[in-house]
Amino acid sequence: MRDSVELTLARLAFRQLAGSRRSLWVLALALLPVLLSLLFSGNPGPNDDVTEDYGELYQALIVGVLLPIVSLVVGTSVFGAEVDDGTITYVLGKPVPRWRIVLTRVVVAGLATAMVVAPSAYISGVIALRSQPSAPRVALGMAGAVIAGSFLYCALFVAISLSTRRALVAGLAYVVVWESSLSNTFGGTRALSVRQYTQTFAQSWAGLEASVLNARLELGTALTMAAVVAVLATIHSIRRLQRFEIGEAV
């Protein structure tokens, strides 16, 4: 078991992620929601609905910024860092089917992202909602939603990182232009937005009223579309890696 190809690949990817300087920034970013919930739950306004307040923090900061940024950093570096320094040859120069390499790395990236974002969502939720009896359930549902979001975003960003050398820019464009700006203007883009899936999951799993989070998809639609996006992105990654060329462009 210890010698399995998947575990070896996963250990290598984890150690690379843990050793990179980006990880420190990511961890610092994850502390932000916790600090903010500590701050504003300390002195709630007279007429504030804490659930709604926390819903805004969750939606704007955790799902809107933390989740996509951490996924982007992690998802683009599970292959990107090795492609940049050439060490990818040590993984690709092995008799290992490419789909096993891709699946392992997507899972590692998703796990690593979830390990940062989910505790941040859960802890900040428990702190912000501590006056509410439903706090544990709400926080758990919201943390569960970002775990699903972590894997979805990472599948997407791994696919992007294997498709273009400017993965960071392309990923950022997807998050900022497609998910934020266009989703607000054109409703149709929501069906193809990991952010919308995550908000829909959160609303449903946390048992919140529809007004708290801006989730505009049916749970069934979100689940189906999320599965389609994850599968298509992963298939695309596998096909890209099978044809992945390493060499200097003359």
Partner 1 sequence: MSTQTLDRPGTGPAAPAAAARGAAVELRNVSRWYGNVVAVNDVSFTLGPGITGLLGPNGAGKSTLLHMLAGFLAPSAGEVLVDGRAAWKNPEMYRSLGLVPEREAVYPFLSGYEFALMNARLHGMPDPRQAAERAIDIVDLREAMHRRIGGYSKGMRQRAKIAGALVHDPRILLLDEPFNGMDPGQRMHMMELLRGLADQGRTILISSHILEELHHLANNVLVVVAGRLAASGHFREIRRLMTDRPHTFTLRSSDDRRLAAVLMTDPSVKGVELGAGGITLHTNERGGFAQHLPRAARDAGITLYELRPTDESLESVFSYLVKR
User: Which of 27, 44, 94, 227 forms a contact with partner 1 (CB under 8 A)?
Assistant: 94
Using CB atoms within 10 Å of the CB of residue 235, give its burial: 0 to 12 exposed, 13 to 18 middle, 19+ buried: middle
Rule CB under 8 A: say whether 165 interacts with partner 1. Answer: no
Residue closer to partner 1 (CB basis): 25 or 244: 244
User: Which of 34, 91, 139, 222 forms a contact with partner 1 (CB under 8 A)?
Assistant: 91
Nearest in space to 78 (alpha carbons), one of 51, 110, 40: 110
| Least separation in angstroms between CB 246 and partner 1 | 4
Cα 28–30–133 angle (5° rounding)?
140
Helix H or strand E encompassing 128: helix 98-128
User: Which of 42, 45, 133, 247 forms a contact with partner 1 (CB under 8 A)?
Assistant: 247
User: Which of 49, 89, 134, 169 forms a contact with partner 1 (CB under 8 A)?
Assistant: 89
| Least separation in angstroms between CB 199 and partner 1 | 38
User: Which of 32, 36, 96, 223 forms a contact with partner 1 (CB under 8 A)?
Assistant: 96
Check: CB of residue 93 under 8 Å from CB of residue 121. Answer: no
Check: CB of residue 230 under 8 Å from CB of residue 197. Answer: no
**For residues 215-244, which are near partner 1 according to CB under 8 A?**
242-244
User: Which of 28, 62, 86, 214 forms a contact with partner 1 (CB under 8 A)?
Assistant: 86
**Which of the 8 DSSP states describes residue 215?**
-
Residue closer to partner 1 (CB basis): 5 or 168: 5
Residue closer to partner 1 (CB basis): 1 or 28: 1
Q: How far does Cα 74 stand from its chain's mean position?
A: 9
Q: Phi/psi of residue 127, each to 5°? A: -65, -50
Residue closer to partner 1 (CB basis): 24 or 250: 250
Residue closer to partner 1 (CB basis): 98 or 216: 98
Nearest in space to 78 (alpha carbons), one of 70, 214, 215, 25: 70
Q: How far does Cα 126 stand from its chain's mean position?
A: 21
Question: Where does this chain bind partner 1 (CB under 8 A)?
Answer: 3-5, 8-9, 12, 15-16, 19, 85-87, 89-98, 242-250
